[in-house]
Chain A
């Protein structure tokens, strides 16, 4: 029982209770995160319903290819995260470290692509709250589309994807700190709970993007 006593904190009866408490703690946090992003999606829904043509027009100016590639990158990173948890649970510390670092690399790839996308928008003079460089095509202007309606889409886009990117940065920091410990053979087997609940966070950030992608990149394409 020496390995168990080193992992088990004194305020828990057993490892099972400790694991359950850690999991529920992370889930409670993720529920607050869900409502945090949920507010942004609710705002999006209200304003898209009010000015659907303006949102579709703005969406067509996002880079569909880069958005699609990034969605694939994040889905793969969720797989590598799941494999890192699996390896840590089975005490394979080299595999766990490799999968954690791979997940961080994929996260970095995502953020670099996102920076390229932001860069394109900034050089076009489009940034949160900007309106002077938004040109509404005449046929849409005739249907009542105003530049400020288009600008609102970009404000939602920058806020939602910016906060999502911040969550990824935090996640990458957490994963790196885990990788430092797994590389030394720690956080293995019964102690893998930390890897597991950090994984919960990473998967949650992936789920946010699963909704961002169709709602921001895939509208008005027909």
Chain B
């Protein structure tokens, strides 16, 4: 076989993990960190946790459903290149908008 056959139980475990993270992200959205924690701006914890869960889910899908875990180094490079270019897009754009008020 030129393609790696991933066992069904791996798919099932990954799916179970995805569903757990899915329920978790909905539940966390209702937790009011601003009232639970003493410092101002604690509400951003909701967004940080939501994004951490989203990246974890994406990583599970990429590694197992998209077979990257079992793929060649070159496939890894392509996948990582996507993440790097997205990071450049975000970092350069946001470093502009997030610092404009420093001038005023």
Q: Do B57 and A210 have beta carbons less than 8 Å apart?
A: yes
Q: Is A46 an interface residue (CB 8 A)?
A: yes
- Interface segment, A77-85, A116-124, A156-164? A77-85
Interface string of B44-75 (1 = CB under 8 A from A): 00110011011001100110111100011011
* Residues in chain B near residue A115, CB distance under 8 A: none
Q: Do A200 and B66 have beta carbons less than 8 Å apart?
A: yes
Q: A34-B86, A75-B19, A211-B58 are in contact. Are A89 and B3 (CB under 8 A)?
A: yes
Q: How far is the CA of A168 from the CA of B44 in the complex (A)?
A: 31
Q: Which of A27, A50, A190, A207 contacts B61 (CB 8 A)?
A: A207
Q: How far is the CA of A89 from the CA of B61 in the complex (A)?
A: 19
Interface size class of A (residues with CB under 8 A): 35 or more
Q: How far is the CA of A82 from the CA of B11 in the complex (A)?
A: 7
* Residues in chain A near residue B65, CB distance under 8 A: 78-79, 81-82, 199, 203
CB distance from B27 to the nearest CB of A (A): 10
Q: Do B43 and A214 have beta carbons less than 8 Å apart?
A: no
Q: Do B82 and A30 have beta carbons less than 8 Å apart?
A: yes
Q: How far is the CA of A109 from the CA of B67 in the complex (A)?
A: 26
Q: Is A20 an interface residue (CB 8 A)?
A: yes
Q: Do B82 and A214 have beta carbons less than 8 Å apart?
A: no
Q: Which of B30, B53, B86, B97 contacts A35 (CB 8 A)?
A: B86
Q: Do A46 and B75 have beta carbons less than 8 Å apart?
A: no
Q: Which of A81, A83, A89, A203 contacts B1 (CB 8 A)?
A: A89
- Interface segment, A11-19, A140-148, A174-182? A11-19
Q: Is A24 an interface residue (CB 8 A)?
A: yes
Q: How far is the CA of A30 from the CA of B66 in the complex (A)?
A: 12
Q: Do A45 and B90 have beta carbons less than 8 Å apart?
A: yes
Interface string of A55-89 (1 = CB under 8 A from B): 00000000000001001100110110111001001
Q: A31-B81, A42-B94, A78-B61 are in contact. Are A211 and B54 (CB under 8 A)?
A: yes
* Residues in chain A near residue B50, CB distance under 8 A: 214-215, 218
Q: A16-B2, A193-B3 are in contact. Are A218 and B25 (CB under 8 A)?
A: yes
Contacting residues of chain A (178-207) with chain B, CB-CB under 8 angstroms: 189-190, 192-193, 196, 199-200, 203-204, 206-207
Chain B residues engaging chain A, CB cutoff 8 angstroms: 1-3, 5-6, 8, 11-12, 15, 18-19, 22, 25-26, 29-35, 43, 46-47, 50-51, 53-54, 57-58, 61-62, 64-67, 71-72, 74-75, 78-79, 81-82, 85-86, 89-90, 93-94, 97-98
Write 10 A-B pairs (CB below 8 A) sorted by A numbering. Answer: A14-B2, A19-B2, A24-B74, A42-B89, A78-B18, A79-B65, A83-B11, A193-B2, A210-B61, A215-B50
